[in-house]
Structure 1
Amino acid sequence: MTFDAIGIASTGMTLHRKWLDSVSDNLSNINTVKATTDDAFQARYVVAQEGEGTSGVYVQGAAFGSAEGRLVHEPDHPLADADGYVRYPDIDLASQMGQLIMAQRGYQASAAVVDRAKESYQAALQIGRN
């Protein structure tokens, strides 16, 4: 039972780590400018999948945001088109920060489960020695 808890919690830690990677990638590219003839940076989102029975949770894949992005009028930008527009990704900073907090808390919760399960296992070993 203790090893099941550690295994399940470790799948949660892996999922949340990948979610954190995705959010950090989105945040680092929030100001990536492209010419209007190019696709904008596409935000990345982790798609989670429940495992069978009590096997935990897994990354099923990734979903991507719109390549259309948003047009911003910056006529002095070197990538601006004839009308003065450039393309930015359509990434909402507030939403990404909320996701960052949720992913961090999920990772911390899964890590706490691993710690508690390890402590329980060590206590059981101590009882067995006495």
Structure 2
Amino acid sequence: MNDLTTSLSFAASGMEAQAMRLRLVSENIANADTPGYHRKVIRFDAAMETGLVEAGPVQLDRSDLIRVYDPGHPLADANGYYDGSNVDMVIEIADAREAQRSYEANLRLFDQARQMTQSLFELLRR
């Protein structure tokens, strides 16, 4: 029984981590046109003592911001440039798909462990 509850815990921690990743991806996509916006990234680690997935701190991607030429923009400097964001939509869409697939895999694992637990309880009732 302990192995089944451990499986449920692993799957739940993976789902929680991927949900957080998906939230950050959606924030990045929503702010892709915000001047000066640095995309948010997160790293996941497996906790050594429990084996659960743990999300690290949210960090800002420190890659260079895109310089946009728009002399009429209120943030433009004397040369007509301002700093855009460093969000790449192709990367964000790929991250979203990867997070979705990882979430679905953890969901299937969670569902299988739940079904096995339910079957075990039915056997014990007999």
TM over 0.5, shorter chain? yes
Q: Which residue of 2 aligns with 1:104?
A: 100
Matched, 1:79 2:75: yes
Q: By percentage of residues, which structure has more strand? A: 1
Cross-structure match for 1:117: 113
Partner residue in 2 for 1:62: 58
C-alpha distance after superposition, 1:31-58 (max 9, x if no partner): 112xxxxxx2111111111112553210
Aligned length in residues: 124
Paired letter, 2:106: S
- RMSD of the TM alignment (CA)? 1.4
Sequence identity, in percent? Answer: 25
Partner of 1:24: 26
Matching residue's letter, 2:56: Q
Give unpaired runs (5+ residues) of structure 1: 34-39
TM-score normalised per structure 1 = 0.88
Number of the residue aligned with 2:125:
129
Residue 92 in 1 paired to residue 88 in 2?
yes
Q: State the one-letter code of the partner of 1:102.
A: E
Structure 1's consecutive aligned runs of 4 or more residues displaced over 3 angstroms after TM superposition are none
TM-score after normalising by structure 2: 0.91
- Summarize the Cα distance change of 1:55–1:67 in structure 2 as closer, same or farther, 3 Å threshold: closer
